[in-house]
Copies of this chain bind each other. A is one copy, B any other.
Amino acid sequence: MYERSWTVRFSDTDPFGIAHYPRIVDALHETSDMFMQEIGFPFWEISREEGYGLPLVEMNFEFENPVAAGDDVTVELTPVPGTRSVRFEYVARNDGEVAFWGYEQRVCARTDGEGAIELPDDLRLALEEYVED
């Protein structure tokens, strides 16, 4: 599993001092980008150099507790590789308590639009190192 810390900023917050939902979604997407860089397959590189990507086909999130400016939110990402897709499962905790959690379902697809392909072996191996036992 991969983990990063997201500090909620003043500019993320609403009239009640808690983060706007679109800003939480920004942080989730940033986490997917940081994870892909961490495992050596940054989104910008695979699309340009390998000709494929992992476009989103579904997102499903639950928001259990609000987060406020200054909170250091721990966002965990666990990949669940399929044959032609991968699910990124997220759990975000604030002071040990779950704040939001859910998943992004991503399909492996050629950037030229020819439809889904199998996850390349090297990407699969890299993802598997972060799979939960």
The quantity of this chain's copies bound in the complex is: 4
A126 to nearest B CB, angstroms? 17
Distance of A74 Cα from B102 Cα, bound (Å) = 27
Q: Which of B13, B30, B33 contacts A15 (CB 8 A)?
A: B13
Specify which chain B residues have a CB less than 8 angstroms from the CB of A48 in the assembled complex: 15, 17
Interface size class of A (residues with CB under 8 A): 35 or more
**Besides A22-B26, A44-B69, A59-B59, 16 other A-B contacts (C-beta < 8 A):** A9-B33, A9-B34, A10-B33, A11-B14, A11-B21, A14-B14, A14-B15, A15-B15, A15-B16, A20-B29, A22-B22, A22-B29, A42-B69, A42-B70, A55-B63, A59-B61
Q: Which residues of A contact B (CB under 8 A)?
A: 7, 9-11, 13-17, 20-22, 25-26, 29-30, 33-34, 37, 42-45, 47-48, 53, 55-64, 66, 68-70, 111
